[in-house]
Structure 1
Amino acid sequence: MDKLTRQQQIRYLFARAGFGATLTELDEAFDRKSIRKVVRQLFDDSKSVQALHVVEPDETETKKQLKGLVRDGQFDKDMLKERIRLNAEKVRDLNLQWLDRMASGQGALREKMALFWHGHFACRTQGRNPLFMQQYANTIRQNALGRFGDLLMAVSKEPAMLQFLNNQQNRKNAPNENFAREVMELFTLGRGNYSEHDIKDAARAFTGWQFTPDGQFIFRQQVHDEGEKTIFGKTGSFTGEDVIAMLLANKQTARFITGKIYRFFVNETEDKKQIDTLAEQFYKNGYDIGDLMETIFTSDWFYEPKNRGAHIKSPVELLVGLRHTLGIQFEQPQSQIFVQRTLGQVLFYPPNVAGWPGGKNWIDSSSLLFRMQLPNYVLNATEVAVQPKEDGDVNTQLLARRGNARFRTKVNWADFETAFAKIPDTELTDALALTLLPFPLRPDQRTLIDSQTPGSQTRPERIQTLTVALMSLPEYQLT
């Protein structure tokens, strides 16, 4: 394997297993020689996790606090509106803090995996409860590379999820099937791999799974249906934990999860044989997520040309990758909420319980131009004349400012330029392209890019101009 191919493979690995890499990170990884060692280092860097923290448990909507919003037997509308505004600000702060963690490059594999699980276990705040969303985010981050069974159980018992899927209203003699249905359809088996009777009796098994106002899971025996249930052909006085165990015992769960991971991390076009092999391993190894991901990232087929450049960056991947590569800090961090809304992916506000559809759905006529111009907007403080997508959600509208403004940022050009100090001027364009793009430049692209750098520019100015030009190419939208 020649040097160029090795560099492209490592760049591709960092783009898929994380959010891209700086030239310094690529060079350090290249020195480790084998892909397996680079992958192992990514796992080592993700062993620990620092919790996101923007709100204390005593700040949540306890009964005492809600009582304080009541005047003359009715909610005070102004006080309630202020409470909603403050809660929305906390969720915004949680969003921005997670973006900072992703952009830092620390534990990149864990954060990328957690972003995947956020789309899989799609959940949004009901009543904009920041504590519930904070706990949910930390749960998927903590368990992102562990065993899927542990993650599934933990997320299923999160107050944010129980609230989002209405299980607080699921009681004996009045079962609510929403939670049970989504656990099967979206979290484990996939549509069509269960019967309506399975849903109905599983809903009865999940009765009593509730939560307290301060964010604690609680099993309320008095509202649990203790009667016999028949689920997947088995009969017994099943509980919610029993249903989770039955779902994990079904190999279709391993196949469904593996297929979704393959489409996200490898290619939207499935290779059935590879997925079946991975699913069998995933099932036999007790749903070990880390083991599955290491197998994928160290397989020769992962690096096949058909997979490189086949993934369209989600808005969060695009924004975080841009920040990480150039060490960008936004002087007004909430500007990043504007970017997310404009491009159609706001953390903690998935469009529905199925999450973001991804793939080519990220590209549409209303956002494509903004996507292409984002590097120029961010790096050159160019005027932004665009409005966020109207998603009809007053909650996300509370998070973002209007357009027609400038992004004010601090860019760590010094470190970025230093990494290219030993690169001859004649090789600079290709060296930058190798760091930023999934494919080598075509001759016509190189000519076009070089034409944008006047001969009078200093080397730092040339690096900056070339970087913006390369990031504005369609290929920058791909990994």
Structure 2
Amino acid sequence: MQHLAWRAGFGESLPVIEDWTHRRKKQIVNRIMMGPEKDPQEALKVIDRSDLPDVGRRKDMTEEEKKMVRKMNVQGIKDLNVSWMYEMVTTTHPLREKMALFWHGHFACRTQNVLFTQQLLQVIRDNALGNFGELLTAVSKSPAMLQFLNNQQNYKAHPNENFAREVMELFTTGRGHYTENDVKEAARAFTGWSYDEEGNFVLREKRHDEGEKTVLGKRGHFTGDDVLKILLEQKQTARYITGKIYRYFVCENPDEQRINALAEKFYQSSYDIKALMQQMFTADWFYDRQLIGTRIKSPVELIVGLRRSIPVAFEREEVVISFQQVLGQTLFYPPNVAGWPGGRNWIDSSSLMYRMQLPRMVLYEKEFNIQPKEITPEMGMGSYKTTMQVNEAAKRQYARKINGRIDWAAYLRAYENVPREKLAETIAGALLLSNNKSMDSALLENYADNSSRENYIKTVTIAVMSTPEYQLC
């Protein structure tokens, strides 16, 4: 159940796990899939169109006004980052946010426009557990993605292949399952796909190539919607998406037989994401011992998991962006169009040391004095200045004290009935996955403050969270 809590979310408290162990697996999985009965998903909205200058006069703006808009966009994306992180920490439907985090990496996108970023995030969160075809279409028609992949420059006189190529290579079939001619023909179908200044999808008919195209062996006067339909008709798309989900939620070393079986049902369900996840989480093999505690937590999973275990409110919530930058995963700033590679790529000599220091810095109120990794201007980002502004903000933040308000009360209550001699073992068992629970109790005692039961629990908890084993889920 603890394995399920981490793979389908960001971990759960000891009382929740103990409650789950007394219930049937199918009942717990159903609860995780559905979320709470009353779950009105609120949009993460940090800025409104009316907050920015009138689009009709943008071309006439002064340099000072343009500077102000750039500043609002940079700050707005930071605010959106903080808001989404807080939603992951406090959500009553963690699987939805975990799936949204997965799709955020799958549909990797960077844009300087906070309204476009905000809109794309909501599209992903709304469809995270819905239908993949609907998600694919909504993302493909979002102004953020059309801008990022240069499709506003794709018109019949001069087709731009970038959007069509990434839709095939990264979003659907994967590399090697289409030809260069398929890309060229699909690009013609996507000509005219654009957006207006309000961020609404627009088909500019004068730019659209209405001629016949041949895509993946089919011929017709295809539009962009037709191409997406053709790609969804390919069983390879179901297999590619299923394989990527398997590597993210189960194991980096793919089991081809399991993936093929899951992909077949995914395809037959017309790409029902929720049904795929339910099948995966109820499978007996999902709980095989060799799959437990084998994934390296992503930076976001690590930060969110820590805060869900021990609630902490920061005086300046923007400090979580500095945490992300140091660890190498800043929301809304993927390294390239392929997203974050994950796995062992999360770990290097400096990031591992910082990961192990993070619980102590947050929970012992130490100085946050580790230099964040810089974000670099990448394809589609456009503005070197904007990227540098993000980096400078992180540098200003990293030297400050974290100043968190830590709420230990609920955490301490979870252990009130545990005998003193079993506390270290129980804490390690609750925080580490079953394959990694063999912590040396004598070693933990060295880090423990025995002045009171409360201090003992706190210090042992921080010691366990500061181990290499805690990096795994």
TM-score by length of 2: 0.94
- Give the match's secondary structure for 1:202: helix
1:18 pairs, out of 9, 16, 31, with 9
1:203 is displaced (CA, Å) by 0.5
Structure 1 counterpart of 2:303, which letter? L
- Residue matched to 1:219: 203
2:311 matched to 1:327?
A: yes
CA distance in 1, matches of 2:308, 2:158: 50
2:393 and 2:154 mapped to 1: Cα distance? 32
The residue matched to 1:210 in structure 2 has which SS?
Answer: strand
Q: Deviations over 1:266-308 (max 9, x none)?
A: 0000001000100011001111100000011111111111111
Which amino acid in 2 is paired with 1:333? E
The question of 1:106 aligning with 2:92 is answered: yes
Query: What residue is the counterpart of 2:434 in the other structure?
Result: 439
Of 404, 407, 410 in structure 2, the residue corresponding to residue 409 of structure 1 is 404
Partner of 1:281: 265
CA contact (8 A) 1:85 1:398 kept: no
Structure 2 match to 1:375 = 359
CA drift at 1:402: 3.9
Report the Cα offset of residue 63 of structure 1.
Answer: 3.1
Match of 2:383 in 1: none
Q: Compared with structure 1, are the counterparts of its residues 60 and 332 closer, same or farther at alpha carbon in structure 2 (3 Å cutoff)? A: same
What does the per-residue CA deviation read over 1:238-265, in whole Å, with 9 as the maximum and x for residues that have no partner? 0000000000000000000000000000
| 1:19 partner amino acid | F
1:234 Cα deviation from its structure 2 partner = 1.4
Match of 1:88 among 74, 83, 87: 74
Once the two structures are TM-superposed, the CA of residue 408 in structure 1 deviates from its matched residue by: 1.1
* Cα distance in 2 for residues equivalent to 1:444 and 1:214: 56
Q: Which string of whole-angstrom CA distances, capped at 9 and with x for unpartnered residues, describes residues 96-145 of structure 1?
A: 100011001311000000000000000111xx211111110010000000
Q: Deviations over 1:386-424 (max 9, x none)?
A: 110123345231552342332111111011101111111
Amino acid at match of 2:77: V
Range with bigger deviation, 144-153 or 436-445? 436-445
Distance 1:443 1:223, change over 3 A: closer
* Local SS of the residue matching 1:451: helix
- Corresponding letter in the other structure for 2:301: E
- Distance (whole Å) between structure 2 residues aligned to residue 28 and residue 452 of structure 1: 30
Q: 2: CA distance between counterparts of 1:41 and 1:443?
A: 31
State whether structure 2 residue 191 is matched by structure 1 residue 200.
Answer: no
Which amino acid is 1:192 matched to?
G
Instruction: Identify the match of residue 25 of structure 2 among 18, 28, 35.
Output: 35
Instruction: Give 1:397's match in structure 2, choosing from 391, 395, 409.
Output: 391
Which residue identity is paired with 1:246? I
Residue 61 of structure 1, CA deviation: 6.5
**Deviation, structure 1 residue 445:** 2.1
The equivalent residue for 2:135 is 151
1:61–1:129 Cα contact (<8 Å) kept: no
Match of residue 447 from structure 2: 452
The yes-or-no answer on 1:350 pairing with 2:334 is: yes
Which amino acid counterpart does residue 274 of structure 2 have in structure 1?
G
Give SS of 1:366's match. Answer: helix
Tell me if structure 1 keeps the 8 A contact 2:85–2:304: yes
SS in 1 for 2:440: helix
Q: Provide closer, same or farther for how the CA distance between residues 146 and 443 of structure 1 changes in structure 2, counting only shifts above 3 A.
A: closer
Report whether the alignment pairs 1:461 with 2:447.
Answer: no
CA deviation map 1:334-361 (0-9, x unaligned): 1001001111111111011100000000
Amino acid across the alignment from 2:255:
D
Distance 1:440 1:235 in 2: 53
Give the % identical residues.
49
Q: Contact 1:328 / 1:411 at 8 angstroms: preserved in 2?
A: yes
Partners in 2 of 1:221 and 1:61 — Cα distance?
29
Partner-residue secondary structure (3-state), 2:227: helix
Separation (CA, whole Å) in 1 of partners of 2:438 and 2:127: 45
1:307 and 1:441 map into 2 onto residues whose CA distance is 12
Deviation for aligned residue 1:64: 2.5
Q: Measured at CA, do residues 62 and 303 of structure 1 come closer, stay the same or move farther in structure 2, by a change above 3 Å?
A: farther
Q: Distance in 1 between matches of 2:54 and 2:218?
A: 40
Q: Distance in 2 between matches of 1:124 and 1:28?
A: 41
Segment of structure 1 superposing worse, 134-143 or 399-408 = 399-408
**CA shift for structure 1 position 80:** 2.3
Match of 1:240 in 2: 224
Segment drifting more, 438-447 vs 408-417: 438-447
Distance 1:209 1:443 in 2: 56
Aligned-pair CA distance for 1:27 = 2.7
Q: Supply the distance in 2 between the matched residues of 1:145 and 1:278 (Cα, whole angstroms).
A: 16
Supply the AA of the counterpart residue of 1:116.
F
> RMSD in angstroms over aligned alpha carbons?
1.5
Match of 2:42 among 33, 36, 50: 50
2: CA distance, partners of 1:61 / 1:430:
59
Q: 1:227 to 1:104 in 2, by over 3 A?
A: same
**What is the SS of the residue equivalent to 2:369?**
coil
Unaligned runs of 5+ in 1: 1-9, 71-75
Q: Is the 8 A contact 2:155 2:208 kept in 1?
A: yes
Q: CA deviation at 1:57?
A: 2.5
SS at match of 1:329: strand
Residue of structure 2 equivalent to 1:6: none
Deviation of the 1:441 alpha carbon: 6.0
5+ residue gaps in structure 2? 378-385
The answer to whether the 8 Å contact 1:159/1:216 transfers is yes
Residue 385 of structure 1: how far off its partner (Å): 2.5
Tell me which moved more, 338-347 or 404-413: 404-413
Q: How does 1:102-141 map to 2 (within 5 A)?
A: 102-125=88-111, 128-141=112-125
1:67 CA drift (Å): 3.2
Checking the alignment, whether the CA contact within 8 Å between 2:319 and 2:398 is kept in structure 1 is no
Quote the offset at 1:186 in angstroms: 0.1
Could you say which residue in structure 1 is the equivalent of 2:418?
A: 423
1:454, 1:19 → 2: CA distance?
28
Amino acid at match of 2:237: T
